[in-house]
């Protein structure tokens, strides 16, 4: 089951949106919203609104919990360009392009089997990491001449 959402004609250049795209793609949509909430960029605010809209739409249409979604496709595309101009030196005209962007999001529902397998693998990795860790005891020698305050019984 899939849900497709578009964010069209967003007043920000696609290049600025693509900086955050790589960070978000590998996360789940709920985790991406948490990440974007605390990212101090204008593009993060725009992504936040579009992803939140996509999750709520998919939740209403597919009747599934929002933690079950994952990104199937997430892309930023070029939108329209407004051509403006400004006067330059010696009577020349400097052109200005105001770029717009489109965001395309396709959310799909993860099956319960995939989630259970991933959680089992994580649990096994955690247990093996705990078994493999060794507690090391270290002895520290304190030089009384250099650090007299650390030696007991002295000032």
Mean pLDDT of 123-141: 59
In the chain, pLDDT over 90 holds for what percent of residues?
Answer: 67
Question: Tens digit of pLDDT for each residue in 52-87?
Answer: 999 999 999 999 999 999 999 999 999 999 999 999
pLDDT band at 111 (very low <50, low <70, confident <90, very high): confident
- Domain coordinates of the chain in residue numbers? 2-84+97-111
Query: What pTM does this model have?
Result: 0.69
CA 62, 63, 69 angle in degrees (round to 5)? 65
CATH topology of domain 2-84+97-111: Ribosomal Protein L22; Chain A (3.90.470)
What phi and psi values does residue 141 have, to the nearest 5 degrees? -95, 130
CA 12, 16, 21 angle in degrees (round to 5)? 115
């Amino acid at each position: 089951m899939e849900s497709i959402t578009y964010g069209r004609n967003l007043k920000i250049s696609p290049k600025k949106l693509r900086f955050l795209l790589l960070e978000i793609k590998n996360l789940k949509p709920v985790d991406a919203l948490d990440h974007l909430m605390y990212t101090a960029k204008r593009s993060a605010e725009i992504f936040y609104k579009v992803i939140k809209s996509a999750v709520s739409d998919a939740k209403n249409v597919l009747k599934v919990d929002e933690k079950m979604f994952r990104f199937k496709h997430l892309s930023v595309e070029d939108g329209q360009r407004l051509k403006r101009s400004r006067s330059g030196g010696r009577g020349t005209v400097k052109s200005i392009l105001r770029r717009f962007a489109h965001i395309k999001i396709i959310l799909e529902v993860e099956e319960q089997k995939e989630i259970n397998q991933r959680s089992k693998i994580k649990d096994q990795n955690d247990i093996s990491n705990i078994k493999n860790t060794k507690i090391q005891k270290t002895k520290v020698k304190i030089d009384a001449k250099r650090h007299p305050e650390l030696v007991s019984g002295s000032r």
